[in-house]
Structure 1
Amino acid sequence: MRFVLVFLLFSIALFATPINKCVSVDEFSQSQKEIIAYAYNYGKQYDLGFTLAAIAWHESCAGEYRMNFADPSAGIYHALIPGVIRRYKMLKDTGFNRNVIGELLVRDDEFASKVAIDELMYWDKVRDGNWKNIVKSYNKGFSWEKSPRMNELAENYYRSIKEKKDILESYIPKYLSNIKLKKREPMLSSFSNTSNIKLKKQENDVIEKIRRIEVATLKSDDTSAIKQAKKDKKAIISIYNKNDEETITHEKTITLQPFYTNK
């Protein structure tokens, strides 16, 4: 009898639903607060700060759960991996490339944020600035317009993001305005030293391919510089700088070839 009781207790512990760390921002760890602050600061230059922070909260519980093998999606905003691969014409949608992109999204918050912003900016244009439809489309693409079931799911997603955004609009200015963000080293930045990151040669080759089309280091974002970046077939212009303290800062992202996913 004692053995049966112990076995049952073990089974309950093994298969019980994990504690939901996303119930309230008041229960966030310091790491989760930092992710929310990072997402907000990244998105605010595009007037999407609270939106991006709400998506990070909803999708990954502010960085706690960065992989969903069922989608498959990855990163703090859970970008759909096949959708990210589609933006790079020179990459085939293989299992290996999915693993590399997934690892980039998980390890590199700047890359994950760039992908999320690119997606939101695309839908902003398609939906003529209608925030509700932007959020629904971020989640379900065009499919919610054609299917009542997809529309129901998109509506639920919108309501969840709106609720979190409303909370964060009060929470961030009050509690996170002065939070110190940790030093990040974007893997795709030409300033970054990735020698301390253990990657196989094949993984490095894929990252270099992405870097060649993804990153343009510009001294300015004037018309001629953007024209040259388009000529070089850059997908996105990323403007990086390095200050006297050797800290890499990502100043701006300019989308040249928007893409969308059908998550």
Structure 2
Amino acid sequence: MRLRNILLILLFISNVFASDFDIKNLTPQEIETLKEIKREGQAHGLSYSLMAIAIKESGLGKYMINVDSKDFGLYQANIKTVINRHNAKDTSWNRNLFATKLISDFQFATKNAIDELVYWQKIHKNDWTKVWSSYNGGWKYNSKEAKEYSKQIAAIIRELRKIDV
């Protein structure tokens, strides 16, 4: 219950949308976060996808909690998806445990995002438009919202390629 209250307070303190992110005016901390993400994603060829998703989903960590959608962390992983991926029972305790890890453990959050992208990459046979759509919309990757999300990720990647990260 205490964790839930903390999460709710954090939600109200921060905005849950990262649409105001300015890629041309990155802080030193944001640049360092991007470099960390890039390093982690290189082995899987996912650096730019991960960086773009982190920007889109959480503003590089500014907005780590979305209670409405039950998405948490740098990459806004859906808690039920994470619980299923870890073969854990869906209990209040596990939801709080995994939500906390997604918020506080960069390695854990990044591994989950990589696992999610690799899963959709196999399903969609490297069709990145569909991979990014599915990251957001799951099996509803043809929905208007998921397609728009994919376009936004592609646009962020184009901008990221213009800067030295």
Q: Structure 2 CA distance, aligned partners of 1:156 and 1:120?
A: 17
1:43 match: 41
2:144 match: 152
Does the 8 Å contact 2:56/2:153 carry over to 1? yes
Q: Residues 213-261 of structure 1, C-alpha deviation per residue, up to 9 Å, x if partnerless?
A: xxxxxxxxxxxxxxxxxxxxxxxxxxxxxxxxxxxxxxxxxxxxxxxxx
Equivalent AA in structure 1 for residue 135 of structure 2: Y
Q: Structure 2 CA distance, aligned partners of 1:164 and 1:136?
A: 14
Gapped regions of structure 1 (runs ≥ 5): 1-16, 146-150, 177-263
Percent identical: 31
Does the 8 Å contact 1:21/1:28 carry over to 2? no
| Secondary structure of the structure 2 residue equivalent to 1:143 | coil
Q: Residues 78-118 of structure 1, C-alpha deviation per residue, up to 9 Å, x if partnerless?
A: 100111001232x2211221111011011111110000001
| Secondary structure of the structure 2 residue equivalent to 1:23 | coil
User: How far off is 1:18 after superposition?
Assistant: 9.5
Which one scores higher on RCO, CA 8 angstroms, separation ≥ 6?
2
Q: Residues 127-148 of structure 1, C-alpha deviation per residue, up to 9 Å, x if partnerless?
A: 0111111111111111234xxx
Q: TM-score, normalised by structure 2?
A: 0.85
Among 139, 156, 162, the alignment partner of 1:142 is 139
Aligned residues: 152
| Secondary structure of the structure 2 residue equivalent to 1:144 | coil
1:105 and 2:102 are equivalent in the alignment: yes
Q: 1:153 to 1:96 in 2, by over 3 A?
A: same
1:128 and 2:125 are equivalent in the alignment: yes
RMSD (CA atoms): 2.1
User: How far off is 1:20 after superposition?
Assistant: 6.4
| Secondary structure of the structure 2 residue equivalent to 1:50 | helix
2:157 match: 165
Specify the structure having the higher radius of gyration (Cα): 1
Gapped regions of structure 2 (runs ≥ 5): 1-14
Equivalent AA in structure 2 for residue 168 of structure 1: L
**More strand by proportion, 1 or 2?**
1
User: How far off is 1:22 after superposition?
Assistant: 3.9
**More helix by proportion, 1 or 2?**
2
Q: TM-score, normalised by structure 1?
A: 0.54
